[in-house]
Amino acid sequence: MSKRVRSREVCADCSAPEPRWASVNRGVLICDECCSIHRGLGRHSSQVRHLTQSSWPPSQLQMVQTLYGNGANSIWEHSLLDPSSSTSGKRKANPQDRVHPNKTEFIKAKYQMLAYVHRMPCRDDDSVTQLHSSVRTGNLETCLRLLSLGAQANFFHPEKGNTPLHIAAKAGQILQAELLAVYGADPGALDSSGKTPIDNARQAGHKELAERLVEIQYELTDRLTFYLCGRRPDHRNGQHFIIPQMADSSLDLSDFAKAAKKKLQSLSNHQFEELAMDVYDEVDRRETDAVWLATQNHSTLVTDTTVVPFLPVNPEYSSTRNQGRQKLARFSAHEFATLVIDILADAKRRQWGNSCDSPKDNVELILQGLNSRHNSESQDNDQPDYDSVASDEDPVQEATCGDSCNHGRTKSSDLSDGPITVQEFMEVKSALTASEAKIQQLLKGCSLGGHGTMLESDYDTTPNHSELEETGSPVAAPDSVEPGVEGEEDATLPCTEDVICKTEQITKNIQELLRAAQETKHESFLPCSEKIRLAVTEMAALFPKRPSSETVRNSLYLLTSSASRLHGECQKAAEHNPCPSDIQLVTQQVIQCAYDIAKAAKQLVTVTTKENNN
């Protein structure tokens, strides 16, 4: 950006000249003082980066500059632009206002409460449908407005058979793809033809966009690697992971830390992803801290009121998870690097398909175990540590890069690699409360008139064989739906009405199971799972032995394997009588399996309806 243009820029929040920071997900530029407040909001509200000192993907920076230049700030301040707002006492902050409370209160109202956003009188499904139409154009601010109104970046359009990112990729709209990715769009999502947005970009000849989408898919692990050793994998040549090594190998881990590392590997994919995302957020906090201190030149801004000593509370996370996130700040650079390396190694292991879905320990124990200072202090681990913030005096350069190439699957991974969105992860209690509504959405989806995804944190739509074997369930996925089975393929599909009927039976049984979970009637888990397994078997029997459609094969495989996993989890609950601290983890696994079954059933309804209408 030229200096002449930059001189006209002002802070989106207080109009101070020459803002040096950006809020990526809000599409605005902000000054140092306002940035200090944004950082305290947390990444779930505002993702901040320095315009010149932070590391930027060029197209992402261009996306932010385009949004800012085209007036994206009016989305967040819509009602303030109304002349009547001045008479009502509403006004935005100005450069002379005090940081606390004036600017702080305004910025929190603007971005946390969305107090000034225009609420258009349209249904939720209108906004997601408009998003599908808008992303093929270059009008970024329209898409940001729709996203601000709640449109889901991963919404699978039942008629179009794809997500907004599929459309943007095919149209070569790289800035739209960047915006969608910031809001959690998955580059590995499959459309009704079994293609990913990456596939669409390649087939349309948009090579640069395809390569960028691959980078977005590995954003989480790439960021962790870059933090440790300043390098990124060469995705163009099939290298998707670099696992750094600690230079000082003489520092052996304590037995407690070794046990914690083993517990890390025993976490379910969902729990592992939560921990990985929390560590990603802590990496962002530490990197932004370093840029902040380097750019302030020890001015008066560097005070206790503008430093972010630990990750801000995310209200959508449980108190236990928030406490664990804050304890990450206590790790020294060496301890934190050890944790990051362990996560990178386990992320690669899980992507290769060698995952374990039998969690026995809480993520909080992982954080306790990896903090080697556990013997030096006696602390109440149930309380957040606000006063013990780790110093980053230890040089992070202790970590050196060891290259590891991954030639495995890249269409979908067990690790969510896109930018982090808070919608993707809800604690078990919230998931239970919302389960009834989600199942109702599915039932509406059977008529293809509603919208909503069953679970945004669904990372792998083709469960591997080890997951099936671990359940101990006598029901294996039938050979008719296992991907890659040889034999004569059959393109015929059952009638839509039969599929909808069976889907309604499945969802009715899932509702019964989730009600039992809500009412803590764990003795009902196994009978409910047997009903679901029977309904799934009957639904699978409607389809040919070897469907020619890859999407149908994958959906059937997800449906039947998830039913097997569900039955196995419910058997564990019945046979082992888990203690109260373990039953929540079992319940989480049961809910995850139920959502996977519901999602697969919805996919089959969508595909069958589309094919039968052609």
Report the range of poorest mean pLDDT among 97-106, 280-289, 375-384, 440-449: 375-384
The rounded percent of the chain whose pLDDT value lies above 90 is 39
235 neighbors 327 (Cβ within 8 angstroms): no
The ranges assigned to domains in the chain are: 21-112, 125-237, 255-351, 496-612
Q: Which residue has the tokens 């301040």?
A: 77
> What is the reported pLDDT for 128?
65
Distances (CA, A) of 492 to 162, 462, 489, 496, 541: 22, 22, 9, 12, 13
Report the range of poorest mean pLDDT among 228-237, 280-289, 353-362, 520-529: 353-362
Mean pLDDT, rounded, for 566-571:
84
Architecture of domain 496-612: Up-down Bundle (1.20)
- Both tokens of residue 81? 């632009």
608 neighbors 462 (Cβ within 8 angstroms): no
> For residue 101, is the peptide bond before it cis, meaning its omega torsion is within 30 degrees of 0?
yes
When comparing pLDDT for 529 and 403, which is higher?
529
Tens of pLDDT along 529-542? 999 999 999 999 99
Q: What is the Cα–Cα distance from 104 to 106, expressed in whole angstroms?
A: 5
Q: What is the Cα–Cα distance from 496 to 498, expressed in whole angstroms?
A: 5
Tens of pLDDT along 463-477? 333 333 333 333 333
CATH superfamily of 125-237: Ankyrin repeat-containing domain (1.25.40.20)
39 neighbors 280 (Cβ within 8 angstroms): no
- How far from each other are the two terminal CA atoms of the chain, in whole angstroms? 49
- Both tokens of residue 189? 């999502």
* 3-class DSSP state of 490: strand
Distances (CA, A) of 137 to 134, 174, 191, 421: 6, 11, 20, 24
> What is the reported pLDDT for 121?
62
Q: Which long-range contacts (CB under 8 A, 24 or more apart) does 581-588 make?
A: 581/362, 582/360, 583/520, 583/522, 584/428, 585/268, 585/359, 585/360, 585/362, 586/522, 587/428, 587/432, 587/517, 587/522, 588/268, 588/270, 588/428, 588/431
**Burial class, 376, CB count within 10 angstroms (exposed 0-12 / middle 13-18 / buried 19+):** exposed
Residue 98: pLDDT over 60: yes
Of 432, 423, 429, the C-alpha closest to 453 is 423
Indicate the average pLDDT of the chain: 75
- Both tokens of residue 417? 């690699």
Query: Which residues face 451 on adjacent strands?
Result: none
Residue 280: pLDDT over 80: yes
- For the ranges 198-202, 358-362, 434-438, the one whose mean pLDDT is highest: 198-202
Q: What is the Cα–Cα distance from 185 to 63, expressed in whole angstroms?
A: 15
Q: Outline where 388-495 has alpha helix (H).
A: 428-446, 465-471
DSSP for 309-358 reads: -SPPP-TTS-HHHHHHHHHGGGS-HHHHHHHHHHHHHHHHHHHTT-----
Q: What is the Cα–Cα distance from 469 to 571, expressed in whole angstroms?
A: 14
Q: Which amino acid is at 378?
A: S
221 neighbors 347 (Cβ within 8 angstroms): yes
- For the ranges 195-199, 315-319, 592-596, the one whose mean pLDDT is highest: 195-199
Q: What is the Cα–Cα distance from 521 to 269, expressed in whole angstroms?
A: 25
| Angle, vertex CA 166, rays to CA 165 and CA 168, nearest 5 | 60
- For the ranges 175-179, 499-503, 541-545, the one whose mean pLDDT is highest: 175-179
Q: What's the Rg (C-alpha) of the chain?
A: 25
Determine how many CB atoms are found less than 10 A away from the CB of residue 409. Answer: 13
Q: Which amino acid is at 271?
A: Q
pLDDT band with cut points at 50, 70 and 90 for residue 504: confident
Q: CA-based diameter of the chain, in Å? A: 75
Architecture of domain 21-112: Orthogonal Bundle (1.10)
Q: Indicate the angle between helix axes 219-229 and 207-217, nearest 10 degrees.
A: 80
Say what the pTM is: 0.60
Report the range of poorest mean pLDDT among 36-40, 42-46, 241-245: 241-245
Of 515, 522, 518, 512, the C-alpha closest to 576 is 522
Check if 21-112 and 496-612 are the same fold. no
> What is the reported pLDDT for 158?
87
Mean pLDDT, rounded, for 575-590:
64
pLDDT band with cut points at 50, 70 and 90 for residue 584: low
pLDDT band with cut points at 50, 70 and 90 for residue 487: low
